[in-house]
Amino acid sequence: MAVLKDILYGVALEHVVGSTDVEVTAVHFDSRKVAEGSLFVAIKGTVSDGHLFIKTAIDKGAKVIVCDTLPNAFEDSIIYVKVADAGKALGIMAANFYQQPSKKIKLVGITGTNGKTTVATLLYKLFRELGFKVGLISTVENQINDKIIPSTHTTPDPIALNILLNDMVILGCDYCFMEVSSHAIAQHRIEGLTFTGGIFTNITHDHLDFHLTFDNYIKAKKAFFDGLNKSAFALTNTDDKNGMVMLQNTAAHKKTYGLKTLADFKAKIIENQFSGLHLDIDNQEVYFKLVGSFNASNLLAVYGAALLLDQDKTKVLTILSKLNGAEGRFDYIISPNGIIGIVDYAHTPDAIENVLSTVDNIRSKTETVITIIGCGGDRDKTKRPLMAQTACDWSDKVILTSDNPRTENPEQIIKEMQVGVSPVNQKKVLSITDRKEAIRTACHLAKPGDIILIAGKGHEKYQEVNGVRTHFDDKEILADCFIQLGSN
């Protein structure tokens, strides 16, 4: 329960019909969730337009309507508020309704095409081990201390986000580490939040279906840093060519990390093996369990952020060296006959190149590398041929298969991937629509010592076909195939 004028604090109002001195029971942007006494925010979406549901919301008991465009006729005793941008207003109102939880916790946001989950999860685990109460908002799961709350998005909607943050505050959390996706920034899901720090990992090809141009995608990520206040830190990756662009207009204090460039936090890779990384990090040699140069970059971001949050260098490195990464990120198992199977969430051309070049660096070159890869439906189509091409460039054999086809025809997605297979690579490519069958085939083709990479779905425990999700787990299927190989 809160008073409307308090909920509207900080919102750019254009016109108000009725009194703002009324109590509101809840804030909703989905008419299907509206109950008696609610405030309904009408938002223009990508599929539909919330303005079409104003009438339904009123019928279900909404007494306040916040919208970009006022309806032609007003209903008695309903309060109408016209705002400049209903999406932005929702973020601000959600924060007000839940009494600004982000101001009562040290909230650190991580953005970038790849590495968000890894960095956020490592920070969560590190700060737990340092003895703090901590929250995590991530693609894999949300956490409040040890309690797991399933996640629906990488960055939840403003209502879910503020409820989560408020629960973290109630349960005494000192910190929250959250992923900030470019969709969330563009759709103002993080509007109204106060961040203690922001971290940029990298920006490469993804989500052009939504942002349309790479330039827009950069601008969306940069807007997160533009919105930080001067008491926050903004930590960027100088190895990424757009790393400094992110900080151009931020009021926050600027800090940098890099493996290849001059930076406030520096590291060098001494060794990169299947068993882990050996790094020189700020002039101290440390072993880590994570694999791959991209993880050296992620670890450095975590280390830099921890120091910016005033933690002790030696304690941080001691704990970090013992941590595993996030589920489904370079997650590998070895079959009884010595086949190495890696499950990884690489779903962009850059991530695939990073994972496969890591494999290439640490293999002995006598073994065969088999990559199983698909592309998600209803997502950026332009990355499809590029992902197939990158997989072919770095593998001896590639099986093109389905990821989450969602509402698209899986065969058509595979056809669009095949466009990226050059004539010389045709002979190394098989197409098997059924992902389970694709994994089984790879296991039968592999000889002891060979490496199988299953890319794209990582931790996901489902496959979405025609809008229906059924249980599907790459790692479980791989483990089953390995057991069967062992018993043959």
Ligand X SMILES: CC(=O)N[C@H]1[C@@H](OP(=O)(O)OP(=O)(O)OC[C@H]2O[C@@H](n3ccc(=O)[nH]c3=O)[C@H](O)[C@@H]2O)O[C@H](CO)[C@@H](O)[C@@H]1O[C@H](C)C(=O)N[C@@H](C)C(=O)N[C@H](CCC(=O)O)C(=O)O
User: Is residue 379 close enough to count as binding ligand API by CB under 6 A?
Assistant: yes
CA–CA separation, 230 vs 240, rounded Å? 24
Instruction: Report if residue 376 touches ligand API, rule: CB under 6 A.
Output: yes
**10 Å Cβ neighbour count for 430?**
15
| Contact indicator for 179, 121 with CB cutoff of 8 Å | no
Look at residue 211 and give its three-state secondary structure.
Answer: helix
Provide, rounded to whole angstroms, the least separation between the CB of residue 115 and ligand X: 11
* Tokens representing residue 82 in the block: 């016209």
Integer Cα distance of 6 and 98 in angstroms: 11
**Is 323 exposed, middle or buried (CB count within 10 Å of its CB: 0-12, 13-18, 19+)?**
middle
Alpha-helical regions (H) of 148-213: 158-170, 182-186, 208-211
Over the window 145 to 164, marking each residue x when it contacts Mg ion by CB under 5 A and - when it does not, the resulting string is: ---------x----------
**What are the b/e assignments for 243-264, b being 16+ CB within 10 Å?**
bebbbeebebebbbbbbeeebb
Q: How many CB atoms lie within 10 A of CB 283?
A: 8
Q: Shortest approach of ligand API to residue 137 CB, angstroms?
A: 14
d(CA 174, CA 195): 13
Smallest gap from residue 41 Cβ to ligand API (A): 24
Least distance from ligand X to the Cβ atom of residue 204, Å: 12
Per-residue binder mask for ligand API (CB under 6 A), 455-474, x = binder: -xx--x--------------
Nearer to ligand API, 331 or 460 (CB): 460
d(CA 48, CA 183): 17
If you search the block for the tokens 């640490």, which residue do you land on? 362
Query: What is the C-alpha separation between 158 and 184, in angstroms, rounded?
Result: 9
What are all long-range contacts of 259-266, with beta carbons under 8 Å and residues at least 24 apart?
A: 259/293, 259/296, 259/297, 259/300, 262/238, 263/238, 264/304, 265/235, 265/300, 265/303, 265/304, 265/307, 266/300
Say if residue 116 carries a ligand binding annotation.
yes
Identify the residue among 111, 187, 404, 441 touching ligand API (CB under 6 A). Answer: 404
The answer to whether the annotation marks 425 as part of a ligand binding site is no
- Flag whether 405 is marked binding: yes
With respect to Mg ion, which residue has the nearer C-beta, 298 or 402?
298
C-beta closer to ligand API: residue 347 or 397: 347
Q: Which residues bind ligand ATP (CB under 6 A)?
A: 112, 114-118, 139, 154, 179, 201-202, 294, 297-298, 326, 329, 344-346, 350-351, 354-355, 458
Find the binding residues for ligand API in span 102-161 (CB under 6 A): 154
Structure token digits, residue 358: 């890591």
- Nearest C-alpha neighbor of 387 from the set 429, 359, 343, 328: 429
Ligand-binding annotation for 469, yes or no, is: no
Quickly list H helices, 236-382. 293-308, 313-320, 349-362
Residue 114 C-beta: closest distance to Mg ion, Å: 8
Stretch that binds ligand API, among 233-241, 364-372, 426-434, 453-461 (CB under 6 A): 453-461
| 187 carries a ligand binding annotation | yes
CB closer to ligand ATP, 93 vs 123? 123
243 binds, among ligand X, ligand ATP, ligand API, none (CB under 5 to 8 A by kind): none
Q: Count residues near Mg ion (CB under 5 A).
A: 5
Question: Of 97-156, which residues contact ligand X (CB under 6 A)?
Answer: 153-155
Strands 253-258 and 233-237, by their bridges, are parallel
| Site track for ligand X across 22-61, x = CB under 6 A | -------xxxx----------x-xxxxxx--x--------
112 annotated to bind ligand = yes
Count of positions on this chain that bind ligand API (CB under 6 A): 9
Say which DSSP state 194 is in.
Answer: -
Q: Which is nearer to ligand ATP, 85 or 378 (CB)?
A: 378
Please report, as ranges, the residues that interact with ligand API according to CB under 6 A. 154, 347, 376, 379, 403-404, 456-457, 460
Please report, as ranges, the residues that interact with Mg ion according to CB under 5 A. 116-117, 139, 154, 179
Please report, as ranges, the residues that interact with ligand X according to CB under 6 A. 29-32, 43, 45-50, 53, 153-155, 157, 181-184
